Structure 1
Amino acid sequence: MPEIAVMARKPNHHPKAPGIFKAPITQQIDYIKGTEAIAGFGNKDFYVAIIPSKLAREIIIANHYSKRIVNNSYIHLGVYVDGIMRGVLQFGYMLNQTKYGLEKIVTGTKQGDYLELNRMWLDDIAPRNSESKAISYAIKYIKKACPMVGWIQSFADERCGCLGVVYQAANFLYFGHHKTHFYELNGETYHSMLLSVRKANPCPRDKHLMDNLSKAKRQSLTQFRYIYFIKRSWIARCKVKPLPYPKPNQPLPSRSIKVNRLKKPS
């Protein structure tokens, strides 16, 4: 990988632009330092590093099963194996950024206190367990580059044909499953939340769904919520307790009995 310069003005809770940095050249696993800030984490065999948002979006559109980007993303990491980019991780805001959305699981959460893994794609040629290793290295980077972040959320989707084993291997906690509604229209997939969260100020794509909702096919898919707590003390802020990991060919863990709210730290 040649020298890369990533310079931009960002909100305070965004990571500082790293400036110019070089790919690691040794076996030592460590932070990748740019001229201005931390740029990534790993060693010459396997590392993650900041890449331009335009490049990340192009790769996701070309390779991710959804064929869609999430405009909420503001951390874009390339995943490099033996010096060749084999994947992309994008972190950013959750779709529902209201107070209800921010505090649905973790009370007291404010903007900048969390991240959501919006998109992840790795080439099939990458070694086994590369997904969980990439997530682990990304978390190392985030700890250093975004010290405000207390927790990271991601969802496994039944469209992937798995229960979130990648997140289980990366030591995320499991917080249950739920049904999410999607709409398919002219080959595009839309999250049903767009009909409410962005109703007042829809983008052209959202407006297209609203104007043609009667023609869209509604689907219901299961999603599995996982959270990694960078600040372990924040686990006590959770409104519900984590559940055992879901396993293949077994009933999904659920909260059929009301769970007591965990005590919020004083």
Structure 2
Amino acid sequence: MATVWPESLRCLMGKAKDIQVKFISKKDADRVVKRNHYSGKVCNNSQLNFGIFYEGRLEGALQFGPPIDRRKVIGLVRDTKWNDFIELNRMAFSDRLPRNSESRAISICFKLIKKHYPNIEWVLSFSDATRCGDGTIYRAAGFVLTQINKNNSIIRLPDGTVTASITYTAGKSILKMGGAAKVPDGAEYLNGFQLRYIYFIKPEARQRLTVAPIPFSKIAEAGATMYKGIQGLKAS
């Protein structure tokens, strides 16, 4: 799941045009994500990793990889081949980056993907409006909203750990009970939403979208507005 925690303090002197975006190793990208992403967790199947540099320092990362289950989403765009799309599954920025760095970084990443991976037609991403935000950055970057779902799959364990209800970690084992979660005593379900967005690297692919685009105004109507982890708050 591609999400970022907007910080209240951002560099006021620099400009987004001063950032540089480069391919980096997964190891380096994971380090940035663990430090700056609201979840503190990386996505193990990330394959394309981009670093966001400012004043010579690595201050952000975007990670792309195949969706966990391509079969469930490949039909969103008709006639999509197995490797014609990718998911933006992690996006993390430090508060040292100038304002609007997110939109610029996304734009540059898409240009690099188009150049080096011309088979990729569209990019999928999800916004976590249970713990982070409703996708302000995606909307600013030109993504299309395709789904608003209530999210009742996130739990907070008694020790404060937040995880998906279908799996949870005990030591080093991931416990799965017949495909359903065995929720520990004292766990609390978190109420919120998950929003699905698509960006079309090849604009002609949008003509093959098999679901109706959703107006952004529907986010507020559904009660799914969230910014900086606060439900009901809108980006200024």
> TM above 0.5, one fold?
yes
Number of corresponding residues: 202
Kept in 1, the 8 Å contact 2:53–2:59? The answer is yes
Q: Which runs of 5+ in 1 are unaligned?
A: 1-41, 196-203, 255-266
Q: Say yes or no: does 1:74 pair with 2:47.
A: yes
1:184 to 133, 146, 156: 156
**1:220 and 1:208, CA in 2 relative to 1: closer, same or farther beyond 3 A?**
same
Q: Which runs of 5+ in 2 are unaligned?
A: 1-15, 225-236
Kept in 2, the 8 Å contact 1:113–1:149? The answer is yes
Partner of 1:201: none
Separation in 1 of the partners of 2:93 and 2:181?
35
Separation in 2 of the partners of 1:68 and 1:151?
25
1:234 to 202, 205, 208: 205
**1:246 and 1:231, CA in 2 relative to 1: closer, same or farther beyond 3 A?**
same
Q: Which amino acid in 2 is paired with 1:61?
A: K
1:110 to 70, 77, 81: 81
Separation in 2 of the partners of 1:89 and 1:153?
13
Partner of 2:123: 152
Partner of 1:19: none
2:32 to 55, 59, 74: 59
How large is the RMSD of aligned CA atoms in angstroms?
Answer: 2.9
1:137 to 103, 108, 115: 108
Report the TM-score, using the length of structure 1 for normalisation: 0.67
The Cα of 1:229 is off from its aligned counterpart by 0.4
Residues 199-210 of structure 1 mapped to structure 2, 5 A cutoff: 204-207=172-175
Q: Which amino acid in 2 is paired with 1:227?
A: I
2:62 to 89, 93, 99: 89
Separation in 2 of the partners of 1:142 and 1:205?
35
The Cα of 1:96 is off from its aligned counterpart by 2.2
Q: Say yes or no: does 1:101 pair with 2:69.
A: no
Q: Which has the larger radius of gyration?
A: 1
1:172 to 129, 140, 143: 143
Identity percentage over the alignment? 35
Larger RCO: Structure 1 or Structure 2 (Cα < 8 Å, ≥ 6 residues apart)?
Answer: 2
